């Protein structure tokens, strides 16, 4: 894993850098600094739209957050637009924890609630809520109070069902900017943006494309019992499994104290796989005391998750049985509260093996 070595820009408040420091982010990568410097290189550049693309885990979000904080610190409103409720909720909690240190109020437009525009400076919204909020700003004549709109997962503009909401919202901003002295800046980001240059031309935006990935990605495929490189599926067999490859790899991950995310195509498969892995761990503990040692380290965290699930009325015995071994599943059959408990457990590294369907995949 490559380490970040660049200091935060001088214009970032110490209160904000302290927050990131507490999250283990004390430095930025070179590509992040380059984008930030370009984005504020001159007074004029601070009004120019910005689109950037970088691989997953490269650190796109922090670039947008710092630029948004800079605008919000002047009193202008900032909108963060995210595609999914679970992702928007997580972003809301994170931005609130960070920006409250600088006395900047942040609210969420995620569920049915509505908030007076005088009560917030930052807003975290889903796509549809953001479109509705900008329409409201136009009708109530406070559109000029918005200083920046950040579009996360910018590739969603090409989505056949929801992309139109983003396109209409951005079109209104472009039209507003043509006649207003108060400009609204658009910042868009994604790991994969088709036709990046064309989109940049439409928005008249600065375009950045980084190929930097701090953690190397290795892709393999298992066919039957044989593992090969994804780019050479007819080539050398790297490994041959004598038992179920999925359960074997999950066991190895557990022993290495490394988290594993397993994606399945159905709720039933997710549950069956999670329970099979938990059953395997149960059998192994009879002959291997190190399995219990691993679980003892996470005992308090797993108990906290269990109590949270029970508090939300979870009666699913399978969930509790798997959780006892640091294993969980996540699918649409669980309530929103139950899924949030499991997501938190995985994020805080108490759940070691998480088997999920696309309900979690959308937030990756």
Indicate whether 249 and 201 sit together in one domain: no
How many structural domains is the chain composed of?
2
Both 203 and 251 in one domain: the answer is no
End-to-end CA distance of the chain: 19
- Residue 127 and residue 62 share a domain: yes
For residue 43, the model assigns a pLDDT of: 53
**β-strand 146-152 against 77-82: which pairing, if any?**
parallel
Reading the block at residue 14, the tokens are: 């110490």
Residue 250 shares a structural domain with residue 319: yes
Q: In terms of domains, do 178 and 43 share one?
A: yes
**145 and 22 housed in the same domain:** yes
Token digits of residue 351: 């759940």
Instruction: Specify whether 199 is located in the same domain as 257.
Output: no
Q: What is the pLDDT of residue 241?
A: 92
Per the domain annotation, does 302 fall within a domain?
Answer: yes
Euclidean distance between CA atoms 209 and 38, whole angstroms: 13
82, part of any domain: yes
* Residues 282, 177 share a domain: no
342, 334 contact by CB (below 8 A): yes
> End of a domain among 182, 209, 236?
209
Query: What's the pLDDT at 192?
Result: 83
308 inside domain: yes
Longest Cα–Cα distance of the chain, Å, equals 74
Burial class (CB in 10 A: 0-12, 13-18, 19+), 123: buried
Spatial contact of 309 and 303, defined as CB atoms under 8 Å apart: no
Tell me how far apart the alpha carbons of residues 306 and 144 are, in angstroms, rounded to a whole number: 47
Q: Which pair of structure tokens corresponds to residue 86?
A: 């679970």
- Structural domain includes residue 76: yes
Single residue among 188, 209, 230 that ends a domain in this structure? 209
285: in domain: yes
Residue count (the chain): 364
Beta strands in the chain (DSSP E): 50-53, 77-82, 106-109, 122-126, 146-152, 185-190, 206-209, 220-223, 226-229, 239-240, 260-263, 327-330, 353-356
228 domain-assigned: no
Residues 285 and 193 grouped into a single domain: no
User: What is the residue range of 81's domain?
Assistant: 14-209
- Predicted confidence at residue 114, as pLDDT, reads 67
Task: Per residue of the chain (364 residues), give pLDDT as tens.
Answer: 556 678 999 999 999 999 999 988 999 989 899 999 888 875 566 678 999 998 887 889 999 999 999 999 999 999 999 998 878 888 999 999 999 999 999 999 987 766 777 889 999 999 999 999 999 999 999 999 999 999 999 999 999 999 999 999 999 999 999 999 899 999 999 988 888 899 999 999 999 988 877 777 788 999 988 999 988 888 888 999 999 999 999 999 888 888 999 999 999 999 999 999 999 988 887 777 777 777 788 888 889 999 999 998 888 889 999 999 999 999 988 888 888 889 889 988 899 999 998 877 654 4
Q: Do 184 and 113 share a structural domain?
A: yes
Say if residue 36 is in the same domain as residue 152: yes
Has residue 112 been placed in a domain? yes
User: Does residue 303 share a domain with residue 181?
Assistant: no
Q: What CATH number has the domain bearing residue 38?
A: 3.40.50.300
Q: Is residue 226 part of a domain?
A: no
Supply the DSSP symbol for 186. Answer: E
Can you give the pLDDT at residue 55?
A: 84
Closest by CA to 32, choosing from 1, 56, 58, is 58
């Amino acid at each position: 894993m490559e380490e970040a070595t660049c200091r935060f820009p001088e214009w970032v408040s110490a209160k904000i850098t302290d927050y990131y420091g507490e999250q283990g982010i004390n430095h930025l990568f070179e590509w992040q600094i380059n984008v930030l410097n370009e984005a504020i290189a001159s007074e004029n550049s601070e009004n120019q739209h910005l689109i950037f693309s970088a691989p997953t885990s490269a650190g796109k979000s922090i670039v947008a957050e710092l630029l948004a904080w800079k605008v919000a610190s002047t009193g202008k409103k900032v909108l963060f637009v995210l595609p999914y409720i679970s992702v928007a909720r997580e972003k809301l909690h994170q931005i609130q924890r960070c920006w409250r240190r600088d006395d900047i109020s942040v609210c969420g437009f995620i569920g049915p609630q509505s908030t007076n525009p005088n009560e917030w400076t930052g807003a975290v919204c889903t796509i549809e809520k953001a479109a509705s909020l900008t329409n409201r700003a136009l009708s109530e004549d406070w559109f000029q109070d918005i200083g920046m709109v950040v579009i996360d997962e910018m590739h969603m503009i090409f989505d056949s069902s929801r992309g139109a909401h983003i396109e209409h919202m951005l079109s209104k901003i472009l039209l507003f900017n043509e006649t207003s002295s108060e400009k609204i800046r658009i910042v868009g980001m994604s790991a994969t943006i088709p036709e990046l240059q064309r989109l940049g031309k439409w928005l008249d935006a600065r375009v950045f494309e980084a190929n930097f990935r701090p953690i190397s990605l290795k892709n393999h495929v298992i066919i039957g019992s044989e593992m090969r490189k994804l780019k050479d599926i007819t080539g050398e067999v790297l490994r041959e499994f004598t038992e179920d490859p999925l359960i074997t790899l999950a066991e190895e991950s557990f022993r290495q104290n490394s988290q594993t995310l397993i994606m399945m195509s159905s709720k039933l498969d997710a549950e069956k796989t999670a329970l099979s892995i938990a059953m395997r761990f149960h059998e192994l503990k009879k002959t291997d005391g190190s399995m219990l040692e691993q679980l003892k380290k996470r005992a308090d965290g797993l108990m906290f998750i269990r109590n949270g699930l029970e508090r939300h009325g979870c009666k699913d015995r399978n969930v509790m049985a798997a959780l006892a071994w640091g294993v969980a599943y996540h699918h649409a059959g669980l309530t929103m509260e139950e899924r949030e408990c499991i997501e938190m457990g995985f994020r805080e590294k108490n759940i070691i093996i998480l088997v999920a369907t696309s309900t979690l995949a959308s937030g990756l």
